[in-house]
Structure 1
Amino acid sequence: MSPRVVIIGGGPGGYEAALVAVKAGAEVTLVERHGLGGNAVLTDVVPSKTVIATAEWLTIAGRASELGIRRSDGGEIAHALSVDLGEVNARVKRLVAKQSGDIADRLERNGITVLAGEARLDGPQRVMVGDAVLEADVVLLAVGARPRIVPGCEPDGERILTWTQLYDLTELPEHLIVVGSGVTGAEFAGAYRLLGAEVTLVASGDRVLSREDPDASAHLTEVFKERGMHLVGGRASAVERAGDGVRVTLEDGTVLEGSHCLMAVGSVPNTEGLGLEEAGVELDERGLIRVDKVSRTTARGIYAAGDCTGVLPLASVAATQGRIAMAHALGDAVTPIDLKLVASNVFTVPEIASVGLSEAELEARGLFYEVSRLDLARNPRAKMLGIDEGFVKIFGHTVTGQVFGAVLVGARAGEHIFPLSLAVAKHLTVDDVAGAFTVYPSLSGTVSEAARRLHGMGAART
């Protein structure tokens, strides 16, 4: 008899796990309450990055004149552009529906049963969906997370918004106040400023993207200022409607006024009401599901993946967790997840991509390393494309030359991080990276040159 697998949640952790399980010969049922793709497709990654991609085109148009491209009447192209946010968001919703539909088609082609509805555990091997009872040998929880709501700053869906509600806007906000300067806040603040809105970004830390590489954070902060964004330090204590706008009060008494407010202050896991405690699934103090490196929970036969585990809030990590969980549960060979190998990207303009150990982590561990940093403005391909910002930064072991980590800032940084991600994962040296051919001219040539500069490193530093 084929093992019975029930997956609760249809995001990357859920649908990727389903595909692995059915390939291994399991009978798979996936339960999803909102739509296939989860937050990654429906309300987070796909829609937000689509808006950001639209905004990025405006920066490309802004470089047109220096490349010799003008309108037929001699005017600058950028001066003739405007943004129809209603159409931007309509396109977002079309792409979301298409991506979700593509996932549904793939699951159907692979013989996976998909049920729409709310699911909860009735013990470790039973899942209830309405009145239906699903018996399971293995259960995977991939229930995701939702925007955190701060008391006194509750969204109304019209002027005070979470990031899931932005796509209902039909007109560009006159003045958007973004509370929260982490990844979500920085991405939306940067995008809406490029789209033409006045933007104020409220940062609770000492800098924008305080968890990113300091050089990258400082670079992006300067870019935001040059584009006319207002940066304010502090935390919001209250957000309220004020006529046709909003009023944001900070903890120090500062009052900010704008037309709209985006609350981007983190997320909370969707772990309530699922019968987890009764089934023996342990949660931490934040309501996150405790898992080990192969995604097992504290209950036998129950696994978890994605944002509900708090391991790392990335779609790629959720998908990897789901695949590892099914491989382990169904007896296949498995390699536990190693977060040092995870490549991540902040989709601001310019992008910030990173992989491996950060410089702060290298310092904390007392490892001997050298840094090679090169600005993209030196790159011939960048000159051709009119790109004059960004850099490549590589950390190499002083003795062995092993690539410890890297940071890339620039256009399409998320695409160009891959060779350095491969280097970190396969324990390659800077000479290995430098010795591989790159196309000339290409932006990736700067990666090779930065690695080449670490050949024959001298005195160690810590």
Structure 2
Amino acid sequence: MKQIVVIGGGPAGVEAAVAAAQGNTQVTLISEGPLGGRTGWDSLLPSKVWLHAAEVAGVAAHAAAEGVQLGAVQVEPAAVLGRIKAVAQRWSEREAQRLQAAGVNVINGVAAFSGPHELVVRNGENQQVLAADAVIIATGSVPRFPPTMKPDGQRIIAPRFASTLSTLPPDMIVIGGGPTGSEFASLFSRLGVKVTWIVGAPGVLPMFDPAAGQALAAAMAAQGVTIHQVDVERAERTEAGVAVTTTDGVTHTAAMAFLAIGRVPDLSRLNLAAAGLQVGENGQLAIDNYGRTEAGHIFAVGDAAGGPMLANRALAQAWIAGRTAAELPAPGYCPHTVVSAVYTVPEIAQVGIVSGGEGELQRVRASYTASLKAYLGDETEGWVELVFDAANRQIRGGIAVGAHAADLLAPVALAIQSGATIADLAAIFAAYPTLSEAVFAAARAVQ
């Protein structure tokens, strides 16, 4: 029976372990902390609980327009923190149940290679040695902070402090124009915090189609967020709060600052040299479409394999690597079917190829107003855009801006995967009324 060891107790590690356990295997998962990993306890889940609280508050605040009378709406940080702990615990228990049902053995500790097929797992003063026919590295990522910008956990914070933010400041400087910076800038603004958003020279969401980033920037400005497209030189604590100095020589002040300036794979404690592996200059391990490193029996998935650092990308890679390690059939990883989503207001999502050579791709857009549902929820400002091949009309990508944008692109991802054409989508009529009608309305608008 093949022995497979998975390093990492986050979503990617659990997914890889469950997938690998479907073969003729004995799978062991090594988790440094509670199941759920940093994603479940420190970063993604806490931020999404905060975002959900803000969403509920927003709906309640506009209830009167829907004919529903409510009292004063207020988000209580202490209650949100309690909700974070409860949801994280329930999710961790659910992951444990999945592993148990799959027959995966779970060990707590920190793993390091002592040879190509051998790992030492340390938990305090205790340690044990594991032999492995295959190893899947799913250790996630850690924040990257330059010397001039480091969190102190009080006035200068980062995403991992979302689970301990017991009070909201009157004003906040958010540093970073990527998905995390965008989400927290939107979150704090919706919770009544005066936000100064320093997005960096590349602008808002530089990895997305320009129209999407521009739409978010315009919406945030309309919400009262002050946006500066300039790089930050340093962020430091002062007697009154924080001071953030940008490369144009301007100093911005506020009660607190939030850093969302990037992450790097967490590989430093693995002793990869003992396994014959070396991290590249970009801080990543080179992998193929199945997650295999140069050492063919060792795989890397999710954030541990570098960017883009998306949870659904990590899950896809983990499932493929787990099945491949167990010698089960699996498709190669296809980045074009992974939906990138930013849970701001408006929500931003993108999938596939959205730009290309001159004349090779065509685009068609439909407004949310194509759906009655948009009028019911006062969500008519959104839009969906399909990108398709000019020659054969196959779907190549999609962009959505508005409520539930990420959900709307699921059928587009499937269309890309299956090689569907604009005509294939045009022939589908979604449930009426739903926002997803806009996707198929866009396809029918093509002449």
Q: So what's the TM-score if we normalise by structure 2?
A: 0.95
* Contact persistence 1:176–1:199 (CA under 8 A): yes
Query: 1:248 — aligned with what?
Result: 244
Query: 2:168 — aligned with what?
Result: 172
CA distance in 2, matches of 1:153, 1:63: 38
* Contact persistence 1:124–1:300 (CA under 8 A): no
Query: 1:414 — aligned with what?
Result: 406
Give the counterpart of 1:91 among 66, 70, 83. Answer: 83
Query: 1:452 — aligned with what?
Result: 444
What one-letter code is carried by the residue in structure 1 that aligns with 2:94? D
SS at match of 2:115: coil
* Contact persistence 1:118–1:129 (CA under 8 A): yes
CA distance in 2, matches of 1:256, 1:336: 47
Matches within 5 A, 1:107-186: 107-130=99-122, 131-186=127-182
Q: Are positions 1:374 and 2:370 aligned together?
A: no
Query: 2:280 — aligned with what?
Result: 284
Q: Are positions 1:263 and 2:253 aligned together?
A: no
Shift of 1:322: 1.7
Matches within 5 A, 1:344-355: 344-355=340-351
Q: Are positions 1:389 and 2:381 aligned together?
A: yes
CA distance in 1, matches of 2:369, 2:435: 10
SS at match of 2:388: strand
CA distance in 2, matches of 1:328, 1:115: 23
Shift of 1:64: 2.6
* Contact persistence 1:66–1:386 (CA under 8 A): no
Shift of 1:65: 3.1
Shift of 1:367: 5.2
CA distance in 1, matches of 2:223, 2:60: 15
Q: Provide structure 1 residue ranges, at least 5 long, that are not aligned to the other structure.
A: 72-76, 457-462
CA distance in 1, matches of 2:146, 2:162: 18
Shift of 1:260: 1.0
What one-letter code is carried by the residue in structure 1 that aligns with 2:385? K
Query: 1:66 — aligned with what?
Result: 65
Identity percentage of aligned residues: 34
CA distance in 2, matches of 1:119, 1:442: 48
Query: How many correspondences in the alignment?
Result: 443
Query: 1:425 — aligned with what?
Result: 417
Query: 2:39 — aligned with what?
Result: 40
**1:416-456 alpha-carbon deviations (Å, 9 max, x no partner):** 211111111111111111101222222122111110011x4
What one-letter code is carried by the residue in structure 1 that aligns with 2:423? D
Matches within 5 A, 1:278-357: 278-357=274-353
Query: 1:55 — aligned with what?
Result: 54
* Contact persistence 2:183–2:343 (CA under 8 A): yes
CA distance in 1, matches of 2:431, 2:132: 52
**1:45-102 alpha-carbon deviations (Å, 9 max, x no partner):** 222112111112233234333333334xxxxx6xx22221121122112111111121
* Contact persistence 1:282–1:298 (CA under 8 A): no
Q: So what's the TM-score if we normalise by structure 1?
A: 0.92
CA distance in 2, matches of 1:195, 1:392: 28
SS at match of 1:247: strand
Query: 1:22 — aligned with what?
Result: 21
Query: 1:205 — aligned with what?
Result: 201
Shift of 1:166: 2.4
SS at match of 1:393: strand
* Contact persistence 2:293–2:299 (CA under 8 A): yes
Q: Are positions 1:401 and 2:401 aligned together?
A: no
Inter-CA distance 293–83: structure 2 relative to 1 (3 Å threshold)? same
What one-letter code is carried by the residue in structure 1 that aligns with 2:408? H
* Contact persistence 1:163–1:264 (CA under 8 A): yes
Shift of 1:187: 0.4
CA distance in 2, matches of 1:230, 1:352: 19
> Cα RMSD between the aligned structures?
1.6
SS at match of 1:278: helix
Q: Are positions 1:442 and 2:434 aligned together?
A: yes
Inter-CA distance 31–206: structure 2 relative to 1 (3 Å threshold)? closer
What one-letter code is carried by the residue in structure 2 that aligns with 1:39? R
Query: 1:460 — aligned with what?
Result: none
Query: 1:224 — aligned with what?
Result: 220
Query: 2:230 — aligned with what?
Result: 234
What one-letter code is carried by the residue in structure 2 that aligns with 1:402? Q
CA distance in 2, matches of 1:327, 1:205: 41
Q: Which moved more, 1:104-113 or 1:226-235?
A: 104-113
Q: Provide structure 2 residue ranges, at least 5 long, that are not aligned to the other structure.
A: none
Shift of 1:407: 0.6
